[in-house]
Amino acid sequence: MRLHEIAKLVGAVLEEGVPDLEIKGVASLMEARSGDLTFFGNPRYLAQLRASVASAAIVPMECQETVAPILLRVANPSVAFATIVAAFAPVEVVPAPGIHPSAVVSPEALLGEGVSVGALVVIDDGVEIGAGTVIESGCVIAHGVRLGVNCRLYPNVTVRERCILGDRVIVQPGAVIGSCGFGYEFQEGHHQKIPQTGIVEIEDDVEIGANTTIDRARFGRTVIGQGSKIDNLVQIAHNVQVGSHTIICAQVGVAGSTRIGSYVTLAGQVGLAGHLEIGDKAIIGAQSGLSKNVPSGSMVIGAPAKPMKEWKQTNFYISQLHKLFERVKELEKLVEK
């Protein structure tokens, strides 16, 4: 694409008289070469922008740096760059509507218009699938499942019996929706399984990452709220409630019956005990361990989790312990003298 075409695409402001270069690709600040376009949106990467050999860079409106790349100023560099990347990306391959000959589809299943069913898919009795939904190879859709319109299930997804997925839900490869909750009673010297009779309900516009597991409720529903995004390798236990537009990053584990509000962020490897309440817009830092409720709007981190300010202060004091130790040794010598 030509540079001026890109500027028009994202509404970028170009300085007068800049050449209309041919841009051959997009890349990060460190990886970009001559002919590439890159983006700069965080001041911590300013040194990388100054060292970049890219031909052009998407930058914030307020950026006034004098650097080698030609600057395209926009209100939101990340969003603009995503639009440009999409323009350069290969066209996504979407399977054509129809049922692959190797798929096993129950005659009692109801498939909407334009549904695509890939190779070796199994669709059981009583399943309802909305128009335009794509189910790729190796998926298993169990008895009584309902899928909304324009969903996309990538290969080897399992959706177990009676679970409900709303419209435009994306499920990445290997995810399991509706596996049994982890419930046992210790009786007569062994662990007796507690029946898990509930379901999982996933609301509209949710995305579920690869190899993530969401357990069905012991009774009632495990719920993932509208617009929430769940990363790879996440475990959501039985009867958990996740609000709308919440972000759950990789390797998070949420124990049973915990309630997570809307617009919450759980960073990577966070662990939540059961029966907790996480308020709206709370942010839980990476590798935090929570055993207590978190109020709305809080920012906590650590194991056990503490308010961010307290955690930073504690870490500072810990980092100074060696100095305190040396000082005590010197004081002991003075006392001995």
Is there a domain that residue 323 lies in? no
CATH code for the domain of 56: 3.40.1390.10
Task: Determine contact, residues 175/210, Cβ cutoff 8 Å.
Answer: yes
Task: Determine contact, residues 187/153, Cβ cutoff 8 Å.
Answer: no
Is there a domain that residue 336 lies in? no
Work out the number of other CB atoms within 10 angstroms of the CB of residue 271: 19
Task: Determine contact, residues 52/29, Cβ cutoff 8 Å.
Answer: yes
Residue 275 catalytic? Answer: no
Mind listing the pLDDT tens digit of every residue in the chain (337 residues)?
A: 999 999 999 999 998 889 999 999 999 999 999 999 999 999 999 999 999 999 999 999 999 999 999 999 999 999 999 999 999 988 888 899 999 999 999 999 999 999 999 999 999 999 999 999 999 999 999 999 999 999 999 999 999 999 999 999 999 999 999 999 999 999 999 999 999 999 999 999 999 999 999 999 999 999 999 999 999 999 999 999 999 999 999 999 999 999 999 999 999 999 999 999 999 999 999 999 999 999 999 999 999 999 999 999 988 999 999 999 999 999 999 999 8
| Model pLDDT, residue 93 | 86
Cis omega before residue 304 (within 30°)?
Answer: yes
Q: Which of 187, 194, 128 is nearest to 163 (CA)?
A: 128
Is there a domain that residue 319 lies in? no
Shared domain check, 272 and 132 = yes
Task: Determine contact, residues 74/90, Cβ cutoff 8 Å.
Answer: no
Shared domain check, 157 and 30 = no
Shared domain check, 233 and 142 = yes
Shared domain check, 265 and 129 = yes
How many domains are contained in the chain?
2
Residues in the chain: 337
Is there a domain that residue 316 lies in? no
Record the pTM: 0.85
Is there a domain that residue 332 lies in? no
Among the candidates 50, 66, 88, a domain finishes at 88
Is there a domain that residue 318 lies in? no
Task: Determine contact, residues 206/224, Cβ cutoff 8 Å.
Answer: yes
59: part of which helix (H) or strand (E)?
A: strand 56-60
CA-CA distance, 40 to 15, in Å (whole number)?
Answer: 17
CA-CA distance, 300 to 284, in Å (whole number)?
Answer: 5
Is there a domain that residue 329 lies in? no
Task: Determine contact, residues 19/1, Cβ cutoff 8 Å.
Answer: no
CA-CA distance, 1 to 313, in Å (whole number)?
Answer: 50
Is there a domain that residue 322 lies in? no
Q: Which of 4, 143, 191, 238 is catalytic?
A: 238
Shared domain check, 84 and 16 = yes
Shared domain check, 266 and 136 = yes
Task: Determine contact, residues 129/111, Cβ cutoff 8 Å.
Answer: yes
Among the candidates 88, 109, 125, a domain finishes at 88
| Model pLDDT, residue 16 | 86
Task: Determine contact, residues 134/95, Cβ cutoff 8 Å.
Answer: yes
Among the candidates 32, 65, 88, a domain finishes at 88
CATH code for the domain of 220: 2.160.10.10
**Residues 178, 183, 189, 190: what is their CA dihedral angle, to the nearest 10 degrees?**
10
Task: Determine contact, residues 14/7, Cβ cutoff 8 Å.
Answer: yes
Q: Which domain holds residue 84?
A: 3-88
The tokens describing 51, both together, are 């060292």
The tokens describing 24, both together, are 């051959």
